[in-house]
Amino acid sequence: MGYSAALKRYDKMVYRRCGKSGIDLPLISLGLWHNFGGKTLNLESKKILFYAFDSGITHFDLANNYGPPYGSAEDNFGKIINKEFKRYRDEMIISTKAGYDMWDGPYGEWGSKKYLIASCDQSLKRMGLQYVDIFYSHRFDPNTPLEETADALELIYKSGKALYIGISSYSSKKTLEMYKILKSRNVKLFIHQPSYSLLNRWIEKDLDKTLFKLGVGCIVFSPLAQGMLSNKYLKGIPKKSRANDPKSYLDKSLITKKNLNTIKELNLIAKKRGQTLSQMAIAWVLNNKAVTTALIGARTLEQVKENIKSLDNLKFSNSELKTINQKAKDGDINIWSQSSSY
């Protein structure tokens, strides 16, 4: 017997309008960056996907090179979509992206029209879909005219391969430029996906204000700073952790003494709120009025359950926000900063 979604899946999830559009997104979305790759999807990952949807999480975020190996997260998600989720496809927002390295040779990354179009076609084939709901330019390409990247996004949108267009890790300046180029072609910039957390507050300089003013949605990734904002690092760096995994993007050097002290101080605030550090960290990013949804990743089902419970307490007092702002200084952990430096 196949999967059947929970009948009351929409009863508790909270949804927020994505900029000036007709789409509401769940306050928590699920990303498949880690733990969904490999030749086949493991049982825990399947449980995560089913529980997420049963809890009202309708947005699933992928990219061409998620795995490892590259493409395998889309392959595996495609199998689930076409076997277990097929009758629920119209209840889902599925996104993918292209911009980072995907295949060999000069046309396998960045922002050229050739690469983006080919990548979109490959992603649709891997997932067995006729279209994705959102297609992103995954990073700004300093060596390709922005107009060419916009050409590709326009073609993908107008050919029906994506219903909405997004960008990721673009600076405020380049976001505004892309918004204007797309608008001149009758294409709406729907959403931006930047990194944002208590330890990575770069969007507060001007990007969040730009997005709010333009009416562009914002889905923030790595709200837990790749797991640093959890109880995992309260006593240092555990042996079994992402920071000790040579294949991980979380470099051990990012977990400085200063950042560890910040994590411990923030955890004390979370305890007073009756939350775990992870729950408070998610609630905090959602407190930014420009943010539509927080994009979480998960290795275990328990992590998903814990993160969803962050929605039980989203309100912060002025005193709490003041204390958090005093403690949560930028921890210099933004490994995606190169893309947003232009």
pLDDT of residue 248: 60
DSSP per-residue string spanning 52-85: HHHTT--EEE--TT-TTTTTHHHHHHHHHHHHTS
Helix (H) or strand (E) holding 282: helix 277-286
Q: Specify which residues 219 forms β-bridges with.
A: 293
Spatial distance between the Cα atoms of 97 and 193, rounded to a whole number of angstroms: 10
Our measurement of the distance from residue 84's CA atom to the centroid of its chain's CA atoms, rounded to an integer in Å, reads 23
Residue whose tokens read 């959890």: 230
Residue 255's pLDDT is: 87
- Residue 232's pLDDT is 86
Residue 287 to residues 160, 206, 284, 292, Cα–Cα distance (Å): 34, 16, 5, 10
Q: Are 283 and 14 in contact (CB under 8 A)?
A: no
Q: How far is residue 135 CA from its own chain's centroid?
A: 13
pLDDT of residue 10: 98
pLDDT of residue 237: 75
Contact (CB, 8 A) for 62 and 94: yes
Is residue 131 packed enough to be buried (19+ CB in 10 Å), middle (13-18) or exposed (0-12)? middle
pLDDT along the chain (342 residues), means of 10: 94 98 98 93 95 98 97 98 97 98 98 98 98 98 98 98 98 98 98 98 98 98 95 77 61 87 96 98 98 97 98 98 95 95 96
* pLDDT value, residue 54: 98
**pLDDT at res. 242:** 62
Q: Looking at domain 15-231+287-314, does it have CATH number 3.20.20.100?
A: yes
Q: Are strands 15-17 and 24-26 parallel, antiparallel or unpaired?
A: antiparallel
Nearest to 101 by CA among 73, 57, 77, 71: 71
Alpha carbon distance 282, 267 (integer Å): 13
DSSP letter string over 79-120? HHHHHTSGGGGGG-EEEEEE-S--SSSTTSSSS-HHHHHHHH
Structure confidence at residue 161 (pLDDT): 98
Q: Residues with Cβ < 8 Å from 23, sequence gap 6 or more?
A: 17, 93, 164, 190, 217
Distinct helix (H) and strand (E) counts, the chain: 10, 10
